Amino acid sequence: MAHYHLSSVSFIAIMAVLFFAPQAHADVYKYVDKFGRVYLTDRPNHSGYKRIVRTLKGWTLPSGKGYANSGKNRSLYGPAIAQAALRYKLPHALLHAVIKAESAYNPIAVSRAGAVGLMQLMPGTALRYGVINRKDPIANLSGGSRYLRDLMGMFKNNLVLALAAYNAGENAVIRYGRKIPPYPETQTYVRRVLQYYKQYQLSMSG
């Protein structure tokens, strides 16, 4: 588990889940800084952290990675993904690849950067595409698909650059001469999505 900063509401909700966990395997530590911000981790890096509970081994905030319902949600949202692909003229195998890389089909996934939902929309992107509730899977899917379509147009159907822009922002791609920005996260992301895309192309049409 990485170090996470939580609001008081998020902290209360998460603690409710932790205390009622059926089994316990991994220690969780809490630290409150001088501004009242709460941090949780399973790897404390200074003496200010205090152990508060033992919880399920491998527990994390809902980041989407290793999401247990990935396969189930892939089937559940499959028709909506196919519809969005048709509407926005994108290969639905590509949308599946992006969603798998972004959230592992977890509609309530929240990244450390604040991206939310199936296609991990940031607040500014959600606002741009009229997505009011980023945890609404259909609205999130629509906004993310429209954004990806617009990026494909902006970068003349260059999929690599569109994916890099989806991860790092179009301005970053433009700033680096319309090339993948030299960010390890973005470079890994592009490779991962392309890998998933190839896999999905083999298992589904489009």
Is it the case that residue 56 has pLDDT exceeding 90? no
* pLDDT tens, position by position, 59-79: 233 444 445 678 888 999 999
Question: 28 φ, ψ to 5°?
Answer: -120, 135
Structural element, H or E, at residue 94? helix 92-103
Is it the case that residue 34 has pLDDT exceeding 90? no
Active site residues: 102
Domains (range + CATH), the chain: 4-55 (no CATH), 70-203 (1.10.530.10)
Query: Are the C-beta atoms of residues 60 and 1 closer than 8 Å to each other?
Result: yes
Tokens 């991860």 correspond to 167
Percent pLDDT > 90 in the chain is 60
Is it the case that residue 16 has pLDDT exceeding 90? no
Helix (H), strand (E), coil (C) string for 130-176: CCCCCCCHHHHHHHHHHHHHHHHHHCCCCHHHHHHHHHHCHHHHHHC
The tokens describing 187, both together, are: 């470079």
User: pTM value?
Assistant: 0.68
Query: Are the C-beta atoms of residues 43 and 6 closer than 8 Å to each other?
Result: no
3-state secondary structure of 124: helix
